[in-house]
């Protein structure tokens, strides 16, 4: 028997809504498929909202082996005094800067990672 899609479409045009609903259920059961919309579409929209973030907090999560260099970097980035910068580096995890742009956050991250620090952008 040859597959005749035109006759099937003609039959579907004449069917009632309840008949079409029954047909969809039967096809789902027979072929183990679902006619519902994929959930991944909704998940992708949520990912775009996260990617559109416009301000970041830069958090030093580990100071690394070169603490003195990390303190100097924190002083340069924040303008804090020696005691405050040392306190920030000694008490990790700590936020180095809040509400900065993505470019500035990436620059700060690069400077701190250069001296052995581990940085998280939030």
pLDDT single digits (tens) 71-115: 999 999 889 889 988 988 898 888 888 888 888 989 999 999 999
State how far the alpha carbon of 119 is from the alpha carbons of 43, 44, 66, in Å: 27, 27, 14
pTM of the full structure: 0.55
Is 83 a domain residue? yes
pLDDT at 52: 57
The CATH number of the domain where 113 resides is what?
Answer: 3.30.1390.10
pLDDT at 41: 46
pLDDT single digits (tens) 12-51: 888 888 888 888 889 888 888 877 665 544 444 445 544 5
* Domain limits for position 107: 56-121
Is 86 a domain residue? yes
Q: What is the number of structural domains in the chain?
A: 1
């Amino acid at each position: 028997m040859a597959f005749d899609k035109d006759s099937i479409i003609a039959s579907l045009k004449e069917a009632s809504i309840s008949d079409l609903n029954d047909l969809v259920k039967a096809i789902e059961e027979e072929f183990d498929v679902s006619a519902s919309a994929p959930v991944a579409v909704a998940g992708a929209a949520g990912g775009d909202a996260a990617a559109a973030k416009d301000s970041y907090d830069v958090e030093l999560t580990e100071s690394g082996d070169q603490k003195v260099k990390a303190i100097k970097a924190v002083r340069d980035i924040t303008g804090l005094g020696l005691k405050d910068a040392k306190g920030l580096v000694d008490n990790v995890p700590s936020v180095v800067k809040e509400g900065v742009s993505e470019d500035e956050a990436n620059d700060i991250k690069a400077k701190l990672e250069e001296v052995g620090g581990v940085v998280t952008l939030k």
